[in-house]
Amino acid sequence: MLSMSQVVKDHTVLGEADRAWLSGLVNEWHLLADVSFSDLILWVPDGDDNIFWAAAQIRPKTGPTALEDDVVGDDIAYDPEHLVTSAYLSESICETSDNKLSAGIPVDVQAIPILRDGHCIGVVERHTNQMGVRAPGALEDTYLEVADILVEMLHHGEFPISPPSDQTFSPKVGDGLMSLSPLGSINFASPNAVSAYRRLGHLGDVEGEHFRALTQSLVDGLQEVGQSVGTDLSARRVLEHEVANSRASVRLRIIPLVSDGEMVGTLVLCRDTTVLRLQERQLVTKDATIREIHHRVKNNLQTVAALLRLQSRRIQSDEARGALKEAMSRVSAIAVVHEILSQSFDEEVDFDDVADRILKMVGDVSASSGKVIGRREGSFGLVPAGAATSLSLVMTELCQNAVEHGLDSSSGVVVVRPQRSAEELVVDVLDAGAGLPDGFDMTNTNSLGLSIVGTLAQDLGGGFELTNREDGQGARARITIPTRRW
């Protein structure tokens, strides 16, 4: 399906400011669609004023659709009788109420030109399915009154409203709606809006109450948002507030309604966010618990590493002492991952930080004489927590192997060179030592470290190879891990 930006880019000569205005309109026009029970189509003019392109479309959530098909990308060409053409050329609202049939459904159509800076930048076509018109009542009448005001605001470039709403958190018409008089008294409250204020603790009728006084009475003395509601009303600004007390929380979006430059009322959208906030608090608690678990695991692993270090000092056998040191390095590598996870809410790890810590640690532990410098060239990027532990062990083993065998536990440099693409992560561990002997066969080695690397590489769905470098003296260990599953 074509996007609005693509249609506007391909077919219009509108300036950047007008494009931004239309984008803002599409972000907010769900409000007009829902209160008017209508489908909306945004038509933008071609370079040729006789051609118009459908750039965006929305269906109402409060009633049945009048348009079965998606028309984005369609055009109206050289049709002077079309309502869109008439509205664009006359710069006045054009409509028909003869219940024209569309796919067998009687539909009323209205075309609203959008005027900005003295010219028309587009037309919103409004289709109302008359078969689905609800029985008249206070809710329906209020919705349609608000729709008429929004149509005038749209026509005169006063809609979309600003700042924009958040498509995820901002309340919508169906969440709850209140209509206020210019003085701030509540003329109408939808059932969902009444229910939201009931949860906040209001027991009487909502209609007839002063919105500012009522809201502040329910959150009086709290430090949360909501205390400036009255100021926002008088300032004619669109703002959102979260009003909360010990019983519930409600998110409010306050929208001034303007006609002929005068404020004729205020629309308040209400969303009961009590359950949402409770879930957020539960998630924060769970995240904090998980972080604490990672912290304790890290502490326990560091304790194990310290015990291994103490034990190695008491052992006379060089072979046993070396084995304990290797075990200590493996435990410490895992501890590094848990330490970083304990400092973040994310399920992904910035592995560059892990790699740098491991390089420092391996150099300190593995070199029995001289000085080993570990250097990273390139970036690992973000690695899922589940894969980070295995990758840290792989890197530890390969770096330790490069120091002990490639550099023969003497001074030198170990380079870790990660290369990340959309498909895979390739990690080379390079040393400048003597290299592998002729006829070296990794399948015939009894090295525990290399066995661990091969097993972990397979667990990650990747591969492992150990060869001599092609760009100089020394050995190259390469791990290749597919990242598609990440």
Q: Look up the pTM and report it.
A: 0.62
Assess whether pLDDT exceeds 70 at residue 13.
yes
Residue 1: the pLDDT is 63
Query: Which CATH fold topology does 173-272 show?
Result: Beta-Lactamase (3.30.450)
Token reading at 176: 């709850």
Looking at the DSSP bridge assignments, the partners of residue 431 are: 414
For residue 38, the number of C-alpha atoms closer than 13 Å in the C-beta half-sphere is: 24
Assess whether pLDDT exceeds 70 at residue 248.
yes
Q: Where in the chain is the domain with CATH 3.30.565.10?
A: 277-482
Instruction: Read off the pLDDT of residues 414-440 as tens digits, 9 standing for 90 and up.
Output: 899 999 988 999 999 998 888 888 878
Q: Give 347 or 350, the one with higher predicted confidence.
A: 350
Domain 277-482 sits in CATH at: 3.30.565.10
| CA–CA gap between residue 72 and residue 485 (Å, rounded) | 34
Residue 230: the pLDDT is 47
Instruction: Read off the pLDDT of residues 186-215 as tens digits, 9 standing for 90 and up.
Output: 999 999 999 999 999 998 899 999 998 999
At residue 231 the predicted structure's pLDDT band, cuts being 50, 70 and 90, is very low
CATH class of 4-155: alpha beta
Q: How many residues are present in the chain?
A: 486
Residue type, position 209, single letter? E
For residue 170, the number of C-alpha atoms closer than 13 Å in the C-beta half-sphere is: 19
> What is the share, in percent, of the chain residues with pLDDT greater than 70?
90
**Average per-residue pLDDT for the chain:** 84
Burial profile 231-266: b = 16 or more Cβ within 10 angstroms, e = fewer: ebbeeeebbbbbbbbeebbbbbbbbbbbeeeeeebb
Closest CA relative to residue 111, chosen from 165, 154, 162, 174: 154
Residue 226: the pLDDT is 36
Q: Where in the chain is the domain with CATH 3.30.450.280?
A: 4-155
C-alpha torsion 329→334→336→340, nearest 10: 170
How many C-beta atoms lie closer than 10 Å to residue 428's C-beta?
Answer: 18
Closest CA relative to residue 109, chosen from 118, 100, 120: 100
Instruction: Read off the pLDDT of residues 78-126 as tens digits, 9 standing for 90 and up.
Output: 998 899 999 999 999 998 865 565 555 788 899 999 999 889 999 999 9
Assess whether pLDDT exceeds 50 at residue 50.
yes
Peptide bond into 163 cis (omega under 30): yes
> What is the share, in percent, of the chain residues with pLDDT greater than 90?
40
| CA–CA gap between residue 65 and residue 63 (Å, rounded) | 7
Residue 99: the pLDDT is 55
Instruction: Read off the pLDDT of residues 135-192 as tens digits, 9 standing for 90 and up.
Output: 778 999 999 999 999 999 999 988 887 788 888 889 999 999 999 999 999 999 999 9
| CA–CA gap between residue 408 and residue 178 (Å, rounded) | 78
SS3 sequence of the chain: CCCHHHHHHHHCCCCHHHHHHHHHHHHHCHHHHHHCCEEEEEEEECCCCCEEEEEEEECCCCCCCCCCCCCCCCEEECCCCCHHHHHHHHCCCEEEEEEEEECCEEEEEEEEEEEECCEEEEEEEEEEEHHHCCCCCHHHHHHHHHHHHHHHHHHCCCCCCCCCCCCCCCCCHHHCEEEECCCCEEEEECHHHHHHHHHHCCCCCCCCCEHHHHHHHHHCCCCCCCCCHHHHHHCCCCEEEEEECCCCEEEEEEEEEEECCEEEEEEEEEEECHHHHHHHHHHHHHHHHHHHHHHHHHHHHHHHHHHHHHHHHHCCCHHHHHHHHHHHHHHHHHHHHHHHHCCCCCCEEEHHHHHHHHHHHHHHHHCCCCCEEEEECCCCCEEEHHHHHHHHHHHHHHHHHHHHHHCCCCCEEEEEEEEECCCEEEEEEEECCCCCCCCCCHHHCCCHHHHHHHHHHHHCCCEEEEEECCCCCCEEEEEEEECCCC
Contact 206, 178 (CB under 8 A): yes
